[in-house]
Amino acid sequence: MAMKLSIIVPVYNRPDEVRELLESLRAQREVDYELIIVEDGSERTCKQEVELMRPNLKHIIYMAIPNAGPSGARNFGSRAATGDYLIFLDSDVTLPEGYLKEVEHGICLDGLDAFGGPDAASKDFTPMQQAINYAMTSPLTTGGIRGGRASGMEQFKPRSFNLGCRRSLFQRLGGFDEGMRFGEDIDFSLRLIASGARVGLIPKAFVYHKRRVDLGKFFKQVHNSGIARIHIETRHPGSTRLVHWLPALFTLLSALCILSGLGSTLLLLLGIILFFHALGSGLEPRVAGLAVVASFVQLWGYGTGFIRAWWGKHVMKEGEFTAFKDNFYQ
């Protein structure tokens, strides 16, 4: 089955990352695709990087718009797309050789209307990037919630760093909700599933995702994800599962353990479990140690965001709870 793919990448002040993404696209062969870069009000644009790579890539469309946030930029890019399927990538990912072939194969094999793929750590990642990648993909953290794999506890939902959809279906559903600051990809995935679309994970269509290397910013990111879960429940009643409560329960248990004097023992035990699991996942000892720290940051960040928004909604009777003031782009 021959098809054309449209890759859409919203960008905000990330010329270096875009250059790496463009370099990785050079290795994508034997697949018909177009690349749409949407510069979303950047002060440091990637236009020069795009022009330098234009002779080496198939078809690039570069578009600059006033800052609208990633959802607005993705929707804007989709309106210029001509492919049968849209693929949304974050600007801080790179693609392994054969990524697009795996996408094409997975779509045809399973007859998918929409899909997602996992994220992985590249060999050139810094130790902190590897550690954060572990925290964001491990089944011992909220990695199970993110859906890097199918799970009995949570239905797989594609995430916007690596998400594909039939263009006609995307248009019918109205694209991403531009009013949502965080969790817009989960909202879109839930609307996909509710529409009856065939949605699946393509395990071999993974990307290398370079996340934040500052633990403070990482905490804000996952804290906002915890807040978003409560907002998503408001829009999609019944979508919150037990697995979404686990980081909040862990956060409360951690606080109780610390107050009771048992915290150091129990947290040390969990740290040891995380450390050896990280080692078993192929991380070096130093990186495994950083992975323990990143995992605690991730669990506490998501957990406190979830508790904060739940309390605001159900106890204080507030509207949508305000997230940390931070850039849309993560």
Residue in 154, 150, 130 with CA at minimum distance from that of residue 202: 150
Q: Which helix (H) or strand (E) holds 257?
A: helix 242-260
Mean pLDDT along residues 44-53? 96
pLDDT of residue 2: 65
pLDDT of residue 147: 46
Higher pLDDT, 142 or 50: 50
pLDDT above 50 for 148: no
Mean pLDDT along residues 198-227? 91
pLDDT of residue 266: 78
Report residue 327's pLDDT band, with 50, 70 and 90 as the boundaries: low
Work out whether strand 199-201 and strand 119-120 pair parallel, antiparallel, or are unpaired. unpaired
Mean pLDDT along residues 305-323? 79
Which of 13-22, 73-82, 240-249, 286-295 is predicted least confidently?
Answer: 240-249
For residue 315, the 8-state DSSP code is T
Angle CA 23–218–13, to nearest 5: 45
Mean pLDDT along residues 254-274? 82
pLDDT tens digit sequence for 63-107: 999 999 999 999 999 999 999 999 999 999 999 999 999 999 999
Residue with tokens 């605690």: 296
When mean pLDDT is compared over 151-165, 252-266, 299-313, the highest value belongs to 299-313
pTM: 0.90
Residue with tokens 């270096």: 16
pLDDT of residue 319: 64
- Cα-based torsion angle of the residue sequence 153, 155, 156, 160 in order, rounded to the nearest 10 degrees: -110
Residue with tokens 């996942």: 281
